[in-house]
Amino acid sequence: MKKIIVFILIASSFFSFAQENAKKMKPSETELWQPKVPVVVPGKNNTAPSDAIILFDGTNLDQWVNAKDETPANWHLNADGSMTVKDKAGDIKTKQKFGNVQLHIEWKSPEEVQGKSQSRANSGVLLQSRYEIQVLDNNNNDTYVNGQVASVYKQSIPLVNASVSTGDWNTYDIIFHQPEFDENGHVIKKATITVLHNGVLVQDHFTIQGTTSFIGYPEYEKHGKASLKLQDHRDNSRVSYRNIWVRELE
């Protein structure tokens, strides 16, 4: 008991000494002036910020290829500046490969409702072609909650369902940090993901457990930078996308 009292007395006198010392400091002693912060011009009227890489601005699919054979992407390019999954065309992916990113992407389900559960406007945003954020029309459409809209598919239930009405445009703003591996292929730092759905936090720095898996549990496999992939769920889920950009994060 004596030892504890002595420790408390020493600790409290050290704390008050540090406080007294801090009071003698000038405000300028805790100001940092270097390094200078880069300037980014933010987007206006739903355009990308000045340092973003534009992956789709509605004019062409030049940044995209079919995921399977890397031939030019052949999803529908629409007059309104969007693209739509073409039936049975397969997934598409970016030509460019990415590591850590901030991603902005907008999507909408068809106005005409078709199918139910996982077959209603199912698509997906796959970071590094592996880690899927689910795209699904969940309005009056029950499904398993770890596979619903804005889930990290089969890994993390979204905090809320922030969907707009069926047929209206949704936004995802995603911050993703890629996993790190040692030379033996073992994961030494797992990937993390934060997702805002229509500006609402739905995934809060979730630690991804491995490659998205439809059957069984997720596991990591060693990889480097990789393409962003968009899913064709192959059930005539005609989901549309527009205004896709990334900012690479160091």
Summarize as ranges the residues that interact with Mg ion (CB under 5 A): 122, 124, 231
Q: 52 or 158, CB closer to Mg ion? A: 158
Closest separation in Å from C-beta 17 to Mg ion: 59
Q: 64 or 107, CB closer to Mg ion? A: 107
Q: 52 or 241, CB closer to Mg ion? A: 241
Closest separation in Å from C-beta 231 to Mg ion: 5
Closest separation in Å from C-beta 230 to Mg ion: 10
Rounded to whole angstroms, the Cα distance separating 95 from 193 reads 22
Please give the residue whose beta carbon sits closest to Mg ion in the complex.
124
Q: 122 or 166, CB closer to Mg ion? A: 122
The DSSP H or E segment spanning 203 is strand 200-207
Closest separation in Å from C-beta 40 to Mg ion: 32
Contact status, residue 85 vs residue 75, Cβ threshold 8 Å = yes
Rounded to whole angstroms, the Cα distance separating 140 from 146 reads 17
Q: 55 or 133, CB closer to Mg ion? A: 133
Q: Which residues contact residue 192 at a Cβ distance below 8 angstroms, ignoring those fewer than 6 apart?
A: 176, 177, 205, 206, 207, 208
Q: Which residues contact residue 221 at a Cβ distance below 8 angstroms, ignoring those fewer than 6 apart?
A: 185, 210, 211
For residue 35, whether the previous peptide bond is cis, meaning omega lies within 30 degrees of 0, is yes
- In Å, how far from its chain's centre is CA 153? 12
Closest separation in Å from C-beta 143 to Mg ion: 11
